[in-house]
Chain A
């Protein structure tokens, strides 16, 4: 199996394009990252930043007819880009599993929770229904669902939102996958339940020792659970580093925007939230140069390269933070000064 030097998931220069009636959508445009077993990568960005598309591409859940995948996605050394579906499906659910945003729509409304778990187990294990049922009840118990025997026979609509997401997690982990992708697993849930679900995911990761990708638009969530953070914008990587690096010294104006628009429980309750002005770009018609420049307060409008050249994802040079990369044309010194003087003083980051 994979070693520390050999990450379980290695995504290299991934590009995802959709053909639509209006033209080609570049949903993901050259994204590279990796996740090791036992580690959590948080992918952060607004809707339309390409984070969900990336995860669907890893699972091979995109529509093969209208989608073009380029680059490499190595799952335990096997490239899944271009892998025929009948082979790829054997990896799905067994080696890599996914938890979706809304468990109410992601679970089949007409089948009992138990039946759906049993089905998930029996796709990859040649066992009798009784054995699968035992396993399913074990999993329901493990994710903290009380009375798993009784709950096994109930339908999704008889579960509360939090319990449904627990059942979804039980189903995704039933085959002990090495890679778990959680696509905004708490967005559809009550705030009080969100923390419980995140705790549960953390516990389970320690127990199952799998690689986890947590997709979210909430930097706060990421700072709690992720080891690494990938900030995406307009289908590209804006900033990538360990959670500590990105939270301590965020380098990309978009990351600053995400931080400033996040309410803080400990900060000044009267402080205004600063939303990022404007909307994410249409991926049909991506702005030239840096995708973020139309919304960037610091963009060099005159003479600067922001509206002409796509910034490269580069390692920080003046501070010694190996692995912390950012795609921004602003000089590094200016970024660090701007962050320390203007952004961190708002009091949101810490």
Chain B
């Protein structure tokens, strides 16, 4: 277990390192000129342009910029060098927003709780509802319930979040006032306000994603119900409930944990379309905007965080696997 963790964390760190190099390289390969976009295209004098370029150290070769970025993460750095406006950025320094001169760690600190709120709440909805519906469909296979559920699942699976989101907003928020307008209120400030502001995004995310879980869990459950050990459970004289829950569900849930782990891990790095649909400034929306602005440190920071969440979620999935299935031994074969 301990060796497994060490191994996986080291692997994760090297992944993050590779990603940071890639993002940096991509940025300098492109035609982006952050200094120009920063001082405005029309009234930008060469002097101003020059000053911004020097301040942000954009005149230095990419590998030096990368080195100073990395130094910033571990020991902190001063951005702007000798300039009187120089910004002190303590470790772990992820650079500053080229536009607002705000530290990237502050940007992430502000946007992360928003994305986390949307994704975690939505995930509870889609995993529970989706899996529950799928299991029921499998048990009542071929019934009217199964057909309606499968049809609905297919419909939602082929819809986009911006469409469902807009319909929800139009019908339940703007026209009928049944649900509150999406906004982010920190949980610590007002738990009820947090809940109210998140409810519409959760429903939207839940509807879209639960379809996938319903279909997956239905297929899994049907397969598991035909397993020999389920027949053994019936042969013992068990009642319906323990056969389904103790014997079939336990075995069917493993692939669902995998998919859920990867889904949630991926979404924690930002759900750009959902955030944009509901005008919530989470990590995804911020990252998309930063790309438009050629705002390298913001892009880099959010990409690194997203990657970290994904790496962490795969580690957690592997640990959960070994908890669910006693045949899985962590570390003996890379955890699989």
Report whether A92 and B231 are in contact in the complex, using a CB–CB cutoff of 8 Å.
no
A100 to B229 Cα, complex, angstroms: 10
Shortest distance between the CB of A235 and any CB in chain B (Å): 21
Report whether B228 and A61 are in contact in the complex, using a CB–CB cutoff of 8 Å.
no
Shortest distance between the CB of B223 and any CB in chain A (Å): 13
Shortest distance between the CB of A94 and any CB in chain B (Å): 6
Query: Is B236 interfacial (CB 8 A cutoff)?
Result: yes
Query: Is A109 interfacial (CB 8 A cutoff)?
Result: yes
For window 220-253 of B, CB contacts with A under 8 Å fall at: 227-229, 231-239, 242, 246-247, 250-251
Report whether B235 and A157 are in contact in the complex, using a CB–CB cutoff of 8 Å.
no
Report whether A119 and B236 are in contact in the complex, using a CB–CB cutoff of 8 Å.
yes
Shortest distance between the CB of B273 and any CB in chain A (Å): 38
Report whether B251 and A123 are in contact in the complex, using a CB–CB cutoff of 8 Å.
no
Query: Is B327 interfacial (CB 8 A cutoff)?
Result: yes
Report whether B324 and A110 are in contact in the complex, using a CB–CB cutoff of 8 Å.
yes
Shortest distance between the CB of A156 and any CB in chain B (Å): 9
Report whether A123 and B235 are in contact in the complex, using a CB–CB cutoff of 8 Å.
no
* Residue from the list A98, A105, A109, A110 in contact with B235, Cβ < 8 A: A98
* Residue from the list A109, A110, A123 in contact with B237, Cβ < 8 A: A123
Which one of B236, B237, B251, B325 has the greatest number of beta carbons of chain A within 10 Å? B236
Query: Is B30 interfacial (CB 8 A cutoff)?
Result: no
Interface string of A104-115 (1 = CB under 8 A from B): 011111100000
* Residue from the list B142, B229, B239, B324 in contact with A108, Cβ < 8 A: B229
Residue of B nearest to A115 (CB): B246
Query: Is A91 interfacial (CB 8 A cutoff)?
Result: yes
Query: Is B31 interfacial (CB 8 A cutoff)?
Result: no
For B228, list chain A residues within 8 Å (CB). Answer: 100, 102, 105-106
Report whether B238 and A155 are in contact in the complex, using a CB–CB cutoff of 8 Å.
no
For A89, list chain B residues within 8 Å (CB). Answer: 234, 237-239
Report whether B232 and A110 are in contact in the complex, using a CB–CB cutoff of 8 Å.
no
A86 to B237 Cα, complex, angstroms: 9
* Residue from the list B235, B325, B326 in contact with A92, Cβ < 8 A: B235
Shortest distance between the CB of A185 and any CB in chain B (Å): 13
Shortest distance between the CB of A259 and any CB in chain B (Å): 31
Q: Known: A89-B239, A155-B327. Contact between A106 and B229, CB under 8 A?
A: yes
Report whether A109 and B327 are in contact in the complex, using a CB–CB cutoff of 8 Å.
yes
Report whether B236 and A93 are in contact in the complex, using a CB–CB cutoff of 8 Å.
yes
Report whether B232 and A106 are in contact in the complex, using a CB–CB cutoff of 8 Å.
yes
For A119, list chain B residues within 8 Å (CB). Answer: 236, 238, 242, 246
- Write the residues of chain A forming the contact surface with B, with a CB cutoff of 8 angstroms: 59, 61, 65, 86, 89-94, 97-98, 100, 102, 105-110, 119-120, 123-124, 155, 157, 171-172
A-B contact pairs, 13 of them (CB 8 A): A59-B235, A89-B237, A92-B236, A92-B237, A93-B235, A94-B237, A105-B229, A106-B231, A108-B233, A109-B229, A109-B251, A110-B326, A171-B236
- Write the residues of chain B forming the contact surface with A, with a CB cutoff of 8 angstroms: 142, 227-229, 231-239, 242, 246-247, 250-251, 324-327
